[in-house]
Amino acid sequence: MQAFTVHKGVAAPLDRANVDTDAIIPKQYLKSIKRTGFGPNAFDDWRYLDPGEPDTDNRVRRRNPDFVLNQPPFDQATILLARKNFGCGSSREHAVWALDDFGFRAVIAPSFADIFFNNSFKNGLLPVVLEEEEVDDLFQRVSAEPGLEIEVDLQSQKVRVPDGPEYRFEVDSDRRRRLLEGLDDIALTLQHADTIRAYEARRRREAPWLLQG
């Protein structure tokens, strides 16, 4: 997995609450059996004026000029500023793959939906939870000064604005360590293989119906 330590980049303000994963990557693109290539279709319904299918050439589609990620410098953004309950709905990890493929390294919001939050950590995309007022403040700063680069530091658990405030965020220690070191989750878990086997043996005695095919 791609590690995350410190990242500094342009932050794009996506000013709506409850952005769902259907909006982040519409269903027709979930037919892919790959993990890559979803970036051009991130926020597809909002980003393009023409409908799209997996085989559509996105370069010839008309862009929606009102959508923030079509507006320079936000088309180069690597940090997404969002509102509450970001990533709600479907469990599709394709939403995280699409944001990652677009170029995002972190999403800052007052809250995230649980499955999206988990999926992000598995892919080196850092979801940062700040207080609502702090997120509001960042929205205002980024809107007043488009192109403003924000720094997200997982090491010290801080979001920094140049010549501006510094906001601390919480992240649980286990997730933080895995992300800082870019560790392979499965390899780590398999270090506990004997413990898993012992658990299974006990459950087979106590409740064998749970381990039947």
Partner 1 sequence: MSGQTLYDKLWQAHVVFEEDDGTALLYIDRHLVHEVTSPQAFEGLRLAGRTPWRGDSVLAVPDHNVPTQNRAAGIADPVSRTQVETLEHNVDEFGLKFFPMRDLRQGIVHVIGPEQGATLPGMTVVCGDSHTSTHGALGALAFGIGTSEVEHVLATQCLWQKKSKSMLVKVEGDLRPGVTAKDVVLAIIGRIGTAGGNGYAIEFGGSAIRGLSIEGRMTVCNMAIEAGARAGMVAVDEKTIEYVRGRPQAPVGALFEQAAGSWRTLVSDPDAPFDKVVELDAGAIEPQVSWGTSPEMVVALSGHVPDPEKETDPVRAEGMRKALRYMGLEAGTPITEIRPDKVFIGSCTNSRIEDLRAAAAVVRGRRKAENIKLAMVVPGSGLVKQQAEAEGLDRVFLDAGFEWREPGCSMCLAMNADRLEPGERCASTSNRNFEGRQGQGGRTHLVSPALAAAAAVAGHFIEPAQLEG
Residues near partner 1 (CB under 8 A): 15-18, 20, 22-23, 26-28, 30-35, 45, 51, 54-55, 83-85, 88-94, 96, 111-115, 118-119, 122-123, 172-174, 185-186, 189-190, 192-193, 195-196, 199-200, 203, 207-213
Residue type, 101: D
Q: How far is the CB of 76 from partner 1 (least distance, A)?
A: 26
Residue corresponding to tokens 């970001």: 86
Token pair of 45, please? 């319904």
Q: How far is the CB of 151 from partner 1 (least distance, A)?
A: 26
Comparing C-alpha atoms, which of 135, 132, 140, 133 is closest to residue 107?
A: 135
Indicate the residue among 56 and 70 with the shorter CB distance to partner 1.
56
Q: How far is the CB of 88 from partner 1 (least distance, A)?
A: 6
Indicate the residue among 147 and 190 with the shorter CB distance to partner 1.
190
Token pair of 66, please? 């009102």
Distance CA 140, CA 46 (A): 22
Residue type, 81: L
Indicate the residue among 107 and 115 with the shorter CB distance to partner 1.
115
Q: How far is the CB of 18 from partner 1 (least distance, A)?
A: 5
129-168 burial, b if ≥16 CB within 10 A, otherwise e?
bbeeebbebbbebbeeebebbbbbbbeeeebbbeeeeebe
Q: How far is the CB of 53 from partner 1 (least distance, A)?
A: 9
Residue type, 148: L
Indicate the residue among 10 and 94 with the shorter CB distance to partner 1.
94
Indicate the residue among 78 and 119 with the shorter CB distance to partner 1.
119
